[in-house]
Amino acid sequence: MFLFLILGALLQTPDEETPRPSRIVEQAESSLAQLDITLLGPPERIAEVTRDDLVIRLQGEKIPEFTLDRHCDPGSLVERSRPRRRKADSVGDSTAATATPPRGSYLLFFDQQQLTQSGRHQALRLARDLVVDLAGPESRVMLVSNAAELKVIQPFTNDTTTLLDGLDRLAADRRQWDWVAEGEEIRVGEVIRALNDADDLHRAIGLARDHQKEELWRANRSFRRLGISLAPLKDGPSPRAVLYFADTLRSNPGHHYLSFFGSSVQREHSALGLVGTGAETGGLAYNDVVNTAAANGIRVYMIQSEGLVSGSDRTRITSRAAAVTLSVGNSSMVRVRDTQKTMRNMAAETGGEAFLNGVQSHTILSRIDEDASCLFVVSIPTKDLPLDRPMRVDVDVRKAGVTSRVRGRLVLQSAKSRQRSRLLQAFSAPGTLSDPLDIEAGVIPLGYEEGGFRGLLQIRIPAVAFPGSRWDVGASVVNRQRVREEMSRQVTLTRPGLPLVVEHEITFRPGDSKVVAVVQEATTGLVASREFVVNWPNLRSGAPGLGPVAVLQPLQAAFIRGEETRGEGSLSGDGTRPLFSDRPTALIGFVCRGRSGGAGWSVERSLVGADSVDYKPIALAADAPRCAQIRDVMPADQFGDGQYTYSIRLVRDGETLESATMGFRVQTR
């Protein structure tokens, strides 16, 4: 484990004659970097290990100067080799345990967006066993859940009953359920069906790119939110550990979609190159959270709780489609491989362990016992070592029969990085974990004039508990590989706890336009971005066309548009944040008639979900405006919980010639 010590403190002599056990404490200034090592082997051989038996290397370079301290009682070396049994079969059971609970701080992190439903059920079952053993007089446990919002289910406590009550609340909270991981087979199936049924390579590539971008966004949010959740651990008693429950987390999110396309097809289609490069950017967020854990001596135990999964896709690609793609893809096998590789790597880099394909709680507890019962701490002078840069760690034990387990990297934080970390923690009120980078962006179609389409860009920054946050907000619009419009402004929020929505009217050209929104908080330097594509009709063809779809709900926030500021308004959701059933909802489409006036064309709309609605068709009139909004309004309390899709279709003679959709989720409060 890595920490900072004031050198003078090392020279002080304790009042007691008997030396006290070392306490690992982070101080403000650094002179030593510390690395905790678990030694494996016969207890009597481990007890004989001295400094001369260890060779420490950073980035391949041997470290000549270091000290070695043992942080354990001599009897624990023998005690940890005994099998662990649960302290109690139920709350209130006075059955004694065969081993005392580990010391330290433990965070149970349930990544609902990366858990299948079976995985979620098993994770909660495992967690009930784990908290009974992990909580104790010298240890504390915290419960955090990552769904649509990041939520502290139970702050740190050592009370078993309180923790079990927290798990019961989590199991019953429908807002903490997420079906994204469960729908992965559906998304993969859409790509396969596009190849099999329509024999449409371009559509399959487009679907693969869209699904990869969504997977990348969710993975980045998972890694970022895990990093935020580490903040309460940093000042806690050691050892410090995260038990991370996930089934589909990958550091190369969406890369598995390339398994359907051969290498020559990938070279011919640039969009597939974007799938590959986009997936690799997921490694940036992965590295950030691993570096944060390494810098604070936090071990990560990855738990894939769903158990064994199928190694083949439910829908298989046909031989005809394979002849076009020059590949017989098996996304399921690739997905499982990438997930397990990510979990193994994250555990190895932080000195933890990956528990794959479903394990029992006693297996996890035995490993935690082994890691925490007796730590050997290596102290290394920090002079001449780089700051804020991960260094590869290698430890060789030159004692027969003894091996080591150590995290794979060491990061020394600079004063600036430690300040940034403290400020990030300050964003969250006590007992909460807010995600200041979970931004949204969308476009509301407004109208058409002089050859351009008018749309209102909205960028939403969630409320933070940090007063005086200063935001730099910018966006650019790219059409046909050229930046067509840009906007930027600076906003300071003196009042904490208030969301910010920056609005800017933009003129779009026909066709696809990519919108990239970027925000930065000036005090902390935190940066977030959101990228999406809006499609506008090509009126030169003479045929009617559809523009983007927007779903609006009222929101209390600081809305800023030009020089105008107001305290409430309507926000266009991007499908990632749930809508609330107790608010009215506006469903907005955008329709343009053809040059001939649109005779014989009609616009049909439908809402499909837990409650479905078919709206009355609208005939396109020859004397109607060239382009116009279509707005369907749902009063408050008309939606039930669930997933919905709003669809607009251009129909002539009973045949749908073009459609536009927007999916969203509704939850009750």
User: How far is the CA of 60 from the CAs of 55, 63, 397, in angstroms?
Assistant: 11, 9, 16
Q: What is the mean pLDDT of the chain?
A: 82
At 72-122, the pLDDT tens digits run: 655 555 454 444 444 544 333 333 344 555 678 999 999 999 999 999 999
Quickly list DSSP for 543-564: S-EE---EEEEEEEEEEEETTE
For the chain, residues classed under CATH 3.40.50.410 are: 104-373
What are φ and ψ of residue 97, in 5° steps? Answer: -90, 160
User: How far is the CA of 39 from the CAs of 139, 207, 268, 646, 660, in angstroms?
Assistant: 22, 49, 52, 58, 60
Which tokens is 478 given? 């790219």
pLDDT tier at 465, thresholds 50, 70, 90? low
59: pLDDT strictly greater than 60:
yes
Quickly list DSSP for 320-358: HHHHHHT----HHHHHHHHHHHHHHHHHHHHT--EE-S-
At 302-344, the pLDDT tens digits run: 999 887 765 556 667 777 777 777 776 677 788 899 999 999 9
pTM over 0.75, yes/no: no
User: How far is the CA of 27 from the CAs of 30, 32, 180, 418, in angstroms?
Assistant: 7, 11, 42, 11
Share of residues in the chain with pLDDT > 90 (%): 32
Query: For domain 104-373, which CATH number applies: 3.20.20.70, 3.40.1710.10, 3.40.50.410, 3.20.20.140?
Result: 3.40.50.410
Helix H, strand E, coil C: the string for 93-140 is CCCCCCCCCCCEEEEEEEEHHHCCHHHHHHHHHHHHHHHHHHCECCEE
Mean pLDDT of 128-151: 91
At 643-669, the pLDDT tens digits run: 888 999 999 888 888 888 888 888 877
The widest CA-to-CA distance across the chain, in whole angstroms, is 98
Share of residues in the chain with pLDDT > 70 (%): 84
426: pLDDT strictly greater than 70:
no
SS3 150: strand
DSSP β-bridge partners for residue 466: none
Cα–Cα dist 335/605, whole Å = 36
Residues in the chain: 669
Nearest partner of 497 among 434, 439, 568, 442, judged by Cα? 434
